[in-house]
Amino acid sequence: MKKIALEEHFGATDPNIVQQSEEHFTPQAWPGRRAELLDIHEARLRQMDELEIEKVILSLLAPGIQSLHDRTQAVDWAQRLNDYAADQVAANPDRFESFAALPMQDPYRATEELERSVNDLGLVGALINGFSQVGDEDTVVYLDDPRYAEFWATVAELDVPVYLHPRDPLASKSPQYDGHPWLYGSSWAFSVETGTHALRLMGSGLFDRHPNLTIILGHLGELLPYNIWRTDHRLAVAPRGLDVEHSFGHYLRTNFYLTTSGNFRTPTLLNAIQEVGADRIMFSADYPFESMAEAATWFDRVELNDRDKHKIASGNAQRLFGLSPV
């Protein structure tokens, strides 16, 4: 089945950001993954052809710009990497689009860079890797912070989605993981961190101020579809100061889209469909951190009615990003 995929990462050596991903691989696996991150038009495209992935929306690897605590460096690298992304799309616009990377360390410059990326470079939205380190390594700022009020107003005005992508929490702020390094990364901490970040956005009233904002979450919703009923159920009894217009379940079904990136599990997909509906789920792989072939062969074999399967494969992404039919 023809598919669009939208959590598909690239790296670069100028500026040299690709090495950020090294910690996620064994020394044996790293050289191959590094090459896959740096490649766009060769092995990646060949696999897309084989697997009927007709279009890919590219994004920078994680944590990317979000960990560059020096503001000037964050702004400079984001600009250069977005220029690079736009050049890659221009080299094969039938098969590639890209999200922008944004220097959230400087809200004003991040807003400008989003406008430049969308209006001048033709990028389709932004992918933000969770909180940003600002000024020094230990200062973390989440996207519900009041400093981002203008940024979110601009996102709403431009009417582009923001992909909220995982990063690890800082070890200095995560005693719950002490002595258990296997809980970091994509096995567990990524999802807890990102699902919690999404709940912060909901609880901050962001979607009351901007009811048309669209946030995309990968990995079939970073644990949220499984637990959202309970979260609302308990908040109704003990709101602890929460003051928003709707339930979190409402925001999840209204302001979020979920992708299948890195979560090729049919019962989990069916649960997500039951919680948010097949209109809000989109195929993705999470290449090269995950296998494009595993993602595609799993999805192609999932037993689902044709209409919903087509929506998840490509129809929803086509509509959300205004893409031409694949």
CB atoms within 10 A of CB 46: 11
Where does this chain touch Zn ion (CB under 5 A) — which range of 173-181, 207-215, 281-289, 315-323? 281-289
DSSP helix/strand/coil, 277: coil
Sequence-distant (≥ 6) Cβ neighbours of residue 54 within 8 angstroms: 2, 3, 4, 48, 95, 314, 326
Per CB under 5 A, does 286 bind Zn ion? yes
Per CB under 6 A, does 71 bind ligand GRE? no
The entry of ligand GRE, Zn ion, none that residue 15 binds, CB within 5 to 8 Å by partner kind = none
Nearer CB in complex with Zn ion: 261/314: 261
Per CB under 6 A, does 188 bind ligand GRE? no
Could you tell me the CA-to-CA distances from 36 to 58, 77, 101 in Å, in that order?
Answer: 13, 21, 19
Per CB under 6 A, does 24 bind ligand GRE? yes
The entry of Zn ion, ligand GRE, none that residue 61 binds, CB within 5 to 8 Å by partner kind = ligand GRE
Nearer CB in complex with ligand GRE: 249/262: 262
Give the residue, chosen from 18, 53, 61, 102, that forms a contact with ligand GRE under the rule CB under 6 A.
61
| Helix extents (H) in 14-54 | 30-38, 43-51
Give 13's DSSP letter.
Answer: B
Say how far apart CA 195 and CA 198 lie, in whole Å.
Answer: 5
Residues in 233-292 at the binding interface with ligand GRE, rule: CB under 6 A: 262, 286, 289
Say how far apart CA 168 and CA 61 lie, in whole Å.
Answer: 13
C-alpha torsion sign, points 219, 223, 225, 228: negative
Does the annotation count 279 as an active-site position? no
The entry of ligand GRE, Zn ion, none that residue 248 binds, CB within 5 to 8 Å by partner kind = none
Q: Which of 94, 106, 138, 286 is catalytic?
A: 286
Binding site for ligand GRE (CB under 6 A): 9, 21, 24, 61-62, 166, 185-186, 262, 286, 289
Residues with catalytic function: 286
